[in-house]
Amino acid sequence: MCAVSLAAEIRVLSAGSVEPGLHVFAGQVKRDLGHDLRIQFNTAPQIAKRLAAGEVYDILIAPPAAIEQAIKDGKVIAGTRVPVGRVGAGIIVRASATAPNVATVDALKRALLGADSVVYNTASTGLYLETLFGKLGILDRLKPKTTRYPNGPAVMEHVINGKGNEIGFGAIPEIRMYEPKGLKLVGPLPAEVQNYTSYDAVVMTGGASAEAARAVLRELATPAAKAMFAARGVE
- Contact of 57 with 76, CB cutoff 8 Å: no
- How far apart are alpha carbons 112 and 118 in whole angstroms? 7
pLDDT of residue 4: 40
Q: How far is CA 10 from CA 26, 38, 56, 100, 153, in A?
A: 10, 6, 11, 43, 24
Amino acid of residue 72: K
pLDDT of residue 183: 96
pLDDT band at 3 (very low <50, low <70, confident <90, very high): very low
pLDDT of residue 5: 40
What share of the chain in percent tops pLDDT 90? 86
Q: What is the mean pLDDT of the chain?
A: 93
Same fold, 4-86+199-230 and 89-193: yes
**Overall CATH class of domain 4-86+199-230:** alpha beta
Q: What is the pTM of this model?
A: 0.83
pLDDT of residue 45: 86
Three-class secondary structure assignment of 85-127: EEECEEEEEECCCCCCCCCCHHHHHHHHHHCCEEEEECCHHHH
31-39 average pLDDT score: 95
Asked: is 89-193 a CATH 3.40.190.10 domain? The reply is: yes
What confidence tens digit (pLDDT) does each residue in 92-110 have? 999 999 999 999 999 999 9
What is the residue extent of each domain of the chain?
A: 4-86+199-230, 89-193
Q: How far is CA 111 from CA 106, 122, 146, 163, 190, in A?
A: 9, 21, 14, 16, 13
- Contact of 213 with 59, CB cutoff 8 Å: yes
DSSP symbols for 18-43:
GHHHHHHHHHHHHHHH-PEEEEEEE-
209-215 average pLDDT score: 94
- Contact of 161 with 153, CB cutoff 8 Å: no
pLDDT reading at 230 higher than 50: yes
Q: What are phi and psi of 10, to 5 degrees?
A: -110, 120
What confidence tens digit (pLDDT) does each residue in 159-202 have? 999 989 999 999 999 999 999 999 999 999 999 999 999 999 99
Name residues whose C-beta falls within 8 Å of residue 30's C-beta, 6 or more positions apart in sequence: 36, 37
pLDDT of residue 2: 41
pLDDT band at 1 (very low <50, low <70, confident <90, very high): very low
pLDDT reading at 19 higher than 80: yes
